[in-house]
Structure 1
Amino acid sequence: MTGHDELDVLALREQLVAPNGPYAALDVVASTGSTNADLLAAVRDGAADRTVLLADTQTGGRGRRDRQWVSPPGTGVYLSVLLRPSAVPAARLGTLGMVAGLALVHAAKEVAGVAATLKWPNDLMIDGAKCAGILSEATPDGAAQAVVVGIGVNVRALDEDIPAGPGGLPATSLEQAGSTAGRTAFAAGWLRAFVELEAAWRLSDGDVERSGVLTGYREACGTIGQRVRAELPDGSAHLGVAVDVDTDGRLLIKLDDGTATPLAAGDVVHLKNEA
């Protein structure tokens, strides 16, 4: 790819927004703090189900646990989708991150021609480096049930000063993996894959097993079968082998003492060089 890779909002709308497509609205802004934060605010203003917002750059992009997501202009896909799955039980809304992750794997293969895997819970991995992340956020208690799902994808080659993630996880991009796909094409491909999987998830009342999402996620998850160190939010850690992902999206770890534990939140480091 050469030159500035512009996002083509007209092409995206023509392909994806009603009446030609499944989304209610799609906007592209030059810069914002966070597309997730913008759509969470739009929930209160009555924004429609399946509203999409993309940004050329974010000045306050966020990942899990309020970590910064670096969003250089003209290089990545930074987008969020507002969903109003009113019939889905609130306890299942968190599994939308699995839907988004599986859609990333599909788009990486179908649009970019790149084989990628998922590192639990929400990192898209290419050859041991992180290419994309996901942040899913539900509206605060008292608001009408809504969820904003955001992705940050490194499409073009990154500067060398991009910091490593938790556990020293290096960053990469689709272009560095050999892709020539542009940002508009990848955004469109992910939005198509996501809405197809999300529709099945919604029709199944958020049940990832019945919708088929869990089977696809397990197949794409490179964490399963790995020896891992799970770093918990309270500062403690578990060592063991990741053996499965359950219907709630939790990572099941067989600990070194022989017991098994489900992990709902935390950072997982793959320990490939340890016995």
Structure 2
Amino acid sequence: MTGRGGDKPDELDGLALREELVAPNGPYAALDVVASTGSTNADLLTAAADGAADRTVLIAGAQTAGRGRRDRGWVSPAGTGLYLSVLLRPAAVPAERLGTLSLVAGLALLHAAERAGVSGATLKWPNDLLVGGTKCAGVLSEVAHDGSARAAVVGVGLNVHPPGVDVPAGPGSLPAGSLAEQGAKVTDRTELASAWLRAFAELESAWRDAAGDAGASGVLTAYRAACGSLGQRVRAELPDGSTRVGVAEDVEPDGKLLIKQDDGVRHVLSAGDVVHLKNDG
């Protein structure tokens, strides 16, 4: 049964997801659902080292040590969110293009929000899902160190219902939100997991067929259209503690953000937190 509005979602149905999404019926090699784990990304990084197959999926009902970008924690209580990771082995994709997988994952989040019946969702660079001025989801993409084999793990955390616990605000005091709070008509986590995984598989296949070229695959055009950061006045908080303030002009083919400062100097950012500022500065 599909969860509606503010109703609590059903339990994750691993059997239904495997029947729908795992070969020969679907695009994935393996899919496992666990009640709880420390981190789905960490588990699949370990699995990669042990030889797990390309397109292996792990979904958890809860995480006790969920992680976001820049080693921040991701609050992942039971029964309220969707926490999943996918192990990929795109052998023909150059290592320097693996970072654009986060664009692919972000676009798949938009599909999941659409399936939930939520309108007005956008992406904040690099890959946060924003709805109604709140952050409802995020992406963590990591390279798996598996000897000479090229592998990556892409993880997403999607708040379907309010977590029910305090969640620290993000950079710029960006509050956490959930799809249910933004008027979601569908809140069944199995259904939303299926929506994200199907969208991700389609987008990732096009990306892989183009050897990870975001432009040639169509990923870049779609991401630019969905990125609410573009055209905004922003403050970029960089990993070294410095900041850049200006207008976000473009997302480049390698996924980096181009910012034009007030003095006309342009900077290309590969990492950092972007805060959307009011137009009056």
Q: TM-score, normalised by structure 2?
A: 0.95
In the alignment, residue 205 of structure 1 is paired with which amino acid? A
Counterpart for residue 92 of structure 2: 87
Cα offset for 1:45? 1.2
Aligned equivalents of 1:3, 1:252: Cα separation in 2: 41
Percent identical:
68
Cα offset for 1:160? 6.0
Counterpart for residue 151 of structure 2: 146
Q: How does 1:128-147 map to 2 (within 5 A)?
A: 128-140=133-145, 142-147=147-152
Residues 1:14 and 1:121: Cα distance change in structure 2 (over 3 Å): same
Conserved? CA contact 2:136–2:158, under 8 Å: yes
1:245 aligns with 2:251: yes
In the alignment, residue 174 of structure 2 is paired with which amino acid? L
Conserved? CA contact 1:5–1:75, under 8 Å: no
Aligned equivalents of 2:163, 2:40: Cα separation in 1: 21
Counterpart for residue 105 of structure 1: 110
Counterpart for residue 131 of structure 2: 126
Once the two structures are superposed, residues 95-138 of structure 1 have per-residue CA deviations (whole angstroms, 9 ceiling, x without a partner) of 00000001111221134343310000010000111000000000
Aligned equivalents of 2:147, 2:245: Cα separation in 1: 39
Cα offset for 1:140? 2.5
Gaps of 5+ in 1: none
Farther off after superposition, 213-222 or 106-115: 106-115
Match among 209, 215, 219 for residue 209 of structure 1: 215
Conserved? CA contact 1:224–1:243, under 8 Å: yes
Counterpart for residue 18 of structure 2: 13
Counterpart for residue 222 of structure 1: 228
Counterpart for residue 114 of structure 1: 119
Residues 1:4 and 1:155: Cα distance change in structure 2 (over 3 Å): closer
Counterpart for residue 161 of structure 1: 166
Counterpart for residue 179 of structure 1: 184
Conserved? CA contact 2:97–2:212, under 8 Å: yes
1:49 aligns with 2:51: no
Counterpart for residue 254 of structure 1: 260
Aligned residues: CA RMSD: 1.3
Cα offset for 1:259? 1.3
Divergent runs of 4+, >6 A: none
Q: TM-score, normalised by structure 1?
A: 0.97
Residues 1:74 and 1:12: Cα distance change in structure 2 (over 3 Å): same
Aligned equivalents of 2:251, 2:8: Cα separation in 1: 42
Residues 1:199 and 1:267: Cα distance change in structure 2 (over 3 Å): same
Aligned equivalents of 2:39, 2:77: Cα separation in 1: 13
Conserved? CA contact 1:114–1:174, under 8 Å: no
